[in-house]
Amino acid sequence: MAVGVKQAKGHKKFSVVTVIFILIPLVLAYAGYVYIPAWWADGDVNEVLRKWANSAYNEKDTGVLREGIERDLGKLGLEFAPEQLEITFQEPDKDYIWITFQYDLELNLPGLNRTTMTHWDHAVETDLSRFVW
């Protein structure tokens, strides 16, 4: 061996950095596995609310709108109390509508045999006056 040349040290098998780089993707994958289906279902709820807010242009009766929203949300498998859904028109012309909806969803945490509750809030606003012919 030549003088002044250092022999390279061998690599350690596991270090703290290695463990962190392994754990972070695993935790993110687990969180995605648990949360993404709930997030996807939440997008479906938002789509239902927007559909009925837009249909308020032709239907100004909140009872009919409420029945339609409850029917479509029931198809998604959501169970909720009537006070969680609120439909409000701007008076006197009913040319602006607000639909607010709040619900809780129970998420199962696989492998941990636990559940957790998530709270979702929606507020859909539609200006119906812009559709003047």
User: What digits encode the pLDDT tens for the residues 100-118?
Assistant: 999 888 888 888 889 999 9
Q: What is the mean pLDDT of residues 63-70?
A: 90
The phi and psi torsions of 21 (rounded to 5 degrees) equal -70, -20
- Strand ranges across the sheet with 114-127: 85-89, 96-109, 114-127
Q: pTM of the full predicted structure?
A: 0.74
Q: What is the mean pLDDT of residues 5-25?
A: 81
Asked if pLDDT for residue 23 goes beyond 90, the answer is yes
pLDDT recorded at residue 44: 92
